[in-house]
Amino acid sequence: DQQVKQNSPSLSVQEGRISILNCDYTNSMFDYFLWYKKYPAEGPTFLISISSIKDKNEDGRFTVFLNKSAKHLSLHIVPSQPGDSAVYFCAASDTGANNLFFGTGTRLTVIP
Amino acid sequence: KAGVTQTPRYLIKTRGQQVTLSCSPISGHRSVSWYQQTPGQGLQFLFEYFSETQRNKGNFPGRFSGRQFSNSRSEMNVSTLELGDSALYLCASSLVAGGWYNEQFFGPGTRLTVL
């Protein structure tokens, strides 16, 4: 049973526009959330994280929003650049960091 | 600074065999976590080692085991291989325990194919 879901397997965005990647989770015990980016033939790269005590965290062009009541988080990339084209995974951790659950990923393509 | 290295990069085994994968973390990093990536299940956490001790474990059968050496290098072992064990196995290192609470760096992975 997938506890973290990314319902859009792919997303295409024009360069310079905003990319919004979405993620839903089912376990209310999750209290820490992360986004990773993965290029082909490479391991994932950590992008940004957010704790459940916050509803927004920003790092440069990347902002993660958390809506605990909806069990939903999103990653905004503004402005999108061709180098952002990759697969993006969201992940969630339960209290005590006993396990880390990943979504199935969204492939972002930024069109020049 | 050298990144996380994993050996071998590719491996082919047959059902019933066992396999050992190796991960060398970034110098100074003491935590190593292992992950399995398959097309059907996506990325799944296997276990984390810190200071030669398994700190936590994901939902995998006992056929999956690991260890960490005093130099923080880690090995992962899968015994009695099944076809479903075919996957990309990733390891990640971080400075301290609780890998993903602190930034963790991933290696390129070992692609295991079980025939």
User: A86 to each of A41, A59, A81, B45, B111, how far by Cα in Å?
Assistant: 11, 18, 11, 21, 20
Minimum-distance CB partner of A97 among B100, B105, B106: B100
pLDDT value at position B97? Answer: 80
Residue to substitute from B9, B43, B106, B110, interface A, most A β-carbons within 10 A: B43
Are A88 and A105 within 8 A, CB to CB?
Answer: yes
pLDDT value at position A30? Answer: 92
pLDDT value at position B100? Answer: 73
Instruction: Select from A79, A83, A80, A89 the least CA-distant residue to A6.
Output: A89
- Which tokens is B16 given? 């019933």
Interface of B with A in 58-77 (CB under 8 A): 58-59
By the 10 Å C-beta count (0-12 exposed, 13-18 middle, 19+ buried), B60 is classed as middle
pLDDT value at position B112? Answer: 97
Q: What is the pLDDT along chain B (115 residues), one digit of tens a residue?
A: 679 999 999 999 999 999 999 999 999 999 999 999 988 778 899 999 999 999 888 889 999 999 999 999 999 999 999 999 999 999 999 988 876 777 889 999 999 999 9
Question: Smallest CA–CA separation between B70 and chain A, in Å?
Answer: 23
Q: How many CB pairs (< 8 A) connect A and B?
A: 51
Amino acid, res. A44: P
CB within 8 Å: A103 and B42: yes
pLDDT value at position B1? Answer: 61
Q: Any chain A CB within 8 A of the CB of B105?
A: yes
Q: Chain B partners of A2 at a C-beta cutoff of 8 Å?
A: 42
CB within 8 Å: B98 and A97: yes
| Distance, CA of B71 to CA of B16 (rounded, Å) | 31
CB within 8 Å: B100 and A44: no
CB within 8 Å: B103 and A101: no
Are A8 and A23 within 8 A, CB to CB?
Answer: no
pLDDT value at position B52? Answer: 94
Minimum-distance CB partner of A100 among B100, B103, B107: B100
What does A2-33 look like in DSSP terms, one character per residue?
A: -SEE---SEEEEETTS-EEEEEEE--TTEEEE
Q: What is the pLDDT along chain A (112 residues), one digit of tens a residue?
A: 689 999 999 999 999 999 999 999 999 999 999 999 999 888 889 999 999 999 999 999 999 999 999 999 999 999 999 999 999 999 998 877 678 889 999 999 999 9
